[in-house]
Structure 1
Amino acid sequence: MSDIIWPEGYVPGFTENFCSNEVIVTGLTVADVWPFLNNPHHWPTYYANSADIRFYDDQGPDLSSGRRFYFSTFGFPVEAQVVEHVPPVLGQAARIAWHGWAGSTADDRLDVHHAWLLEELAGGRLRILTQETQKGKPAEALALANPNPMINGHQDWLNGLVGAARKAKQS
């Protein structure tokens, strides 16, 4: 199975917070799921913890390499830029990753690398992996929270993504 590609400074274990969520499902392909992940305007329809989606420079509605966008999540106003974008190609994993940031001072600055991997496995299975590393004082607080809001929130995102793709496929 494939792994997330981590940029320097964001390798898990060397940041203040890390979360990893994964599902493996049947009955869906990367092509079924990709549109619901690659177009952020879909996110609020299946993931309640995302809102206020907008793109810069009249770009969008889909993500692509280098594209800048904005969204609100976990109470943070997140500026983001896509740093990895590999659309579905038969036989290889599809990938999306962005660098996101919020805040401007040492006390409120949060920097994240949020990555997604969609990979078809043997037996008609689809693996969806999302992992995020975070740096900054807000990340330290999130890492100590129990239950962990990042783990729970990203699991909701995964479950909603799968549900949205299944619903669309049945239509």
Structure 2
Amino acid sequence: MHSISFPSRFLPGTTDNFVSNEVIAKDLTVFDIWHYLIDTAEWEKYYDNAANIELTNGENSELHYGERFHFDTFGFPIDAQVMELVSPTADSPVARIAWHGWNDGDEDSSIDVYHAFLIEQLPNNRVRLLTQESQLGKSAAELAGTVPNPMLNGHQAWLDGLVTAAREQY
């Protein structure tokens, strides 16, 4: 199986918080899932932890490589930029998207994150969805110590919502 590549600054195990969530679903393809992940107009329909999404290009609601965008999540206003975007193809049914996100608040509220998704087709008509986020900052450390971990639960809801949205298209 494929893995997510992190910039050295966000290497898991060296940051203040790291979460990893994975779902393997049957009877779906990478192509079924991809649209619901890169089209931010879909996010609020299946994931209640993303709001006030604005893309800087203003042309459409789909994320593109280098795209800057803003959204509110986990009680934080986040500015972000897409750092990796690899769409799936018939020859390579593996998709990737990652963004660097930040909040330039004060020492207590600022957060710096790298959030990535990997979607890959598996044998026997299965698809794997992996999301991982590595975070820096005092608020990230506080999130890491919270039980249950809101990042872990929130990202699981995001993956579950992606699967549900893709299934409902049929």
**Root-mean-square deviation (Å):** 1.0
> Counterpart amino acid of 1:23?
V
Report the alpha carbon displacement of residue 93 of structure 1 after superposing the two structures with TM.
1.5
Q: 1:22 — aligned with what?
A: 22
Report the alpha carbon displacement of residue 103 of structure 1 after superposing the two structures with TM.
2.9
Q: 2:55 — aligned with what?
A: 55
> Counterpart amino acid of 1:94?
A
**What is the SS of the residue equivalent to 1:128?**
strand
Contact 1:78 / 1:102 at 8 angstroms: preserved in 2?
yes
CA distance in 1, matches of 2:155, 2:10: 18
Report the alpha carbon displacement of residue 92 of structure 1 after superposing the two structures with TM.
4.1
Report the alpha carbon displacement of residue 107 of structure 1 after superposing the two structures with TM.
2.2
What are the within-5 Å matches in structure 2 for residues 88-127 of structure 1?
Answer: 88-90=88-90, 91-127=92-128
Aligned residues: 169
CA distance in 2, matches of 1:58, 1:48: 23
**What is the SS of the residue equivalent to 1:34?**
helix
Report the alpha carbon displacement of residue 106 of structure 1 after superposing the two structures with TM.
2.4
**What does the per-residue CA deviation read over 1:5-26, in whole Å, with 9 as the maximum and x for residues that have no partner?**
1112001001000000000011
Q: 1:37 — aligned with what?
A: 37
Contact 2:111 / 2:140 at 8 angstroms: preserved in 1?
yes
> Counterpart amino acid of 2:13?
G
Query: Any stretches of 5+ residues in structure 1 without a counterpart?
Result: none
Q: 2:79 — aligned with what?
A: 79
Report the alpha carbon displacement of residue 89 of structure 1 after superposing the two structures with TM.
1.6
**What is the SS of the residue equivalent to 2:12?**
coil
CA distance in 2, matches of 1:60, 1:10: 30
Report the alpha carbon displacement of residue 109 of structure 1 after superposing the two structures with TM.
1.2
Q: Determine what percentage of the aligned residue pairs are the same residue.
A: 50
Query: Any stretches of 5+ residues in structure 2 without a counterpart?
Result: none
Report the alpha carbon displacement of residue 58 of structure 1 after superposing the two structures with TM.
2.2
Contact 2:108 / 2:139 at 8 angstroms: preserved in 1?
yes
CA distance in 1, matches of 2:61, 2:101: 18
CA distance in 2, matches of 1:40, 1:142: 25
Change in CA separation of 1:89 and 1:74 when aligned onto 2, cut-off 3 Å: same
Contact 1:59 / 1:67 at 8 angstroms: preserved in 2?
no
> Counterpart amino acid of 1:136?
G
Q: Structure 1 residue 143 and structure 2 residue 144: aligned?
A: yes
Under a length normalisation based on structure 1, what TM-score does the superposition of the two structures give? 0.96
Q: 1:12 — aligned with what?
A: 12
CA distance in 2, matches of 1:57, 1:161: 24
**What is the SS of the residue equivalent to 1:9?**
helix
Q: 1:130 — aligned with what?
A: 131
